[in-house]
Structure 1
Amino acid sequence: MRQPAMTAAEVKDYLIEVFPQTAHLFEIDEIAPMRARVRMLTGPEHLRPGGTVSGPTLFTLADCAFYVVTLAMIGRVALTVTTNCSINFMRKPAPGALVCEARILKLGKLLSVGDATIWSEGASEPAAHAALTYAIPPRRGENVG
C-alpha cells in the first residue's frame, strides 16, 4: 500500500505556512496510508441558534480533513483544491470537540476522491458524512494531455 509522503507534524507545519489564518482551528490526530483523523474544537462562534454546531463548521472540518489526507499522500502541493463536495447532515453535533475521519478511496495523478465522516467526540453515531473530490495540479514538466 502507498505510504504517506508527510507525517502529521509535517502537514500541520505546512498548514501553518499556507493557511496561517485557519490552521490553529485543527489538530491532526493521525495520518495513515490513505487516512487521516482531524479534530476541531468548536466554540460559541461555531454555533447556530438552538446551540448546535453550524453546517458551515461541519463542512469546513470535512474539507480540511480531506485536504490533510490528500496532502499527506501527495506532499506539499498547496494548489490542490476542492472540486466537489456533497455533505449529509445526519445528527445535531454537540458543542465541543468534533472528530473527522477522512479517507481517500482513489488517488490518481490529477484527482483525489474519498469521504469524510464527522462525530461529536465520544458519540457513537456520526453527525455528518461528506463525499469529496480534490483536483491535484500537474507537477512541473508533467505531460497530462
Structure 2
Amino acid sequence: MSTISEQERAERSSMAMWKDDHASQAFGMKIESVGPGIATLSMVVRKEHLNGHGSCHGGTIFTLADSAFAFACNSHNTVTVAQHCSVAFLAPGREGDRLTAVAREVTLAGRSGVYDVTVSRDDGVAIAEFRGLSRTVSGSHFDEPAA
C-alpha cells in the first residue's frame, strides 16, 4: 500500500511525463490541472498552427486533446498508451484563441480505459469532441514509497 494520495500520484505522474514531453511543450501547451483520471491542458493558437483556411489546423486540435488524454490516463502512475482515438471537429479555432482541453476518465477496467476530451475556446464554445481508448503497458512513472 502506498503512502501518497491519489491526487499526489496524479501530480507526480504528470511531472514525470511533462519533463520529456517535447511535443506538447513545442506546441505551447500548459498543464492547467491534473487529478486521478482527469487533466486540463491549454494552448494559444499561433500563426504556425493555422491551416490554409486561416483556422487552427485539425491536427493541432487533435494534438491538444491527445495530450490531455495522455495526462489523464497516465495519472494512476501506470504507463499507459493510446490504442484508438477519434475526434469530431465542431467549430473553428482562430489565431489568438486560447483553447482548453478537458479530459475525463469514463471507465477504467483492467488494462483498458475510455476517456472523453472536450476542446473549447475561451468563449465557452466547444470546438472538438475527442474519445480515446487507452491500454496500460508495463512500468510506472516514478517509484512510490512503501507504506
Judged with a 3 Å threshold, the aligned counterparts in structure 2 of structure 1 residues 42 and 13 are, in CA distance, closer, same or farther, namely farther
Q: Is the 8 A contact 1:12 1:28 kept in 2?
A: no
User: Which consecutive residues of structure 2, in runs of 5 or more, have no partner in the other structure?
Assistant: 141-147
Task: Give the alignment partner of residue 25 of structure 2, picking from 20, 23, 26.
Answer: 23
* 3-state SS, counterpart of residue 40 of structure 2: strand
1:44-83 to structure 2, matched below 5 A, reads: 44-72=47-75, 74-75=76-77, 77=79, 80-83=80-83
1:1-145 to structure 2, matched below 5 A, reads: 3-4=6-7, 5-7=9-11, 11-17=14-20, 19-24=21-26, 25-72=28-75, 74-75=76-77, 77=79, 80-96=80-96, 97-120=98-121, 122-138=122-138
Q: Taking CA–CA contacts closer than 8 Å with sequence separation of 6 or more, which of the two structures ends up with the larger relative contact order? A: 2
Aligned length: 133
Partner of residue 143, structure 1: none
CA distance in 2, matches of 1:135, 1:102: 16
CA distance in 2, matches of 1:35, 1:91: 24
* 3-state SS, counterpart of residue 22 of structure 2: coil
Question: Kindly, what percent of the aligned residue pairs are identical?
Answer: 24
Counterpart amino acid of 1:98?
A: L
CA distance in 1, matches of 2:57, 2:64: 11
Judged with a 3 Å threshold, the aligned counterparts in structure 2 of structure 1 residues 12 and 51 are, in CA distance, closer, same or farther, namely farther
Q: Is the 8 A contact 2:10 2:35 kept in 1?
A: no
**TM-score, length-scaled by structure 2:** 0.79
CA distance in 2, matches of 1:133, 1:29: 22
User: Which consecutive residues of structure 1, in runs of 5 or more, have no partner in the other structure?
Assistant: 141-145
User: Deviation of residue 34 (structure 1)?
Assistant: 2.3
Counterpart amino acid of 1:110?
A: R
Judged with a 3 Å threshold, the aligned counterparts in structure 2 of structure 1 residues 87 and 135 are, in CA distance, closer, same or farther, namely same
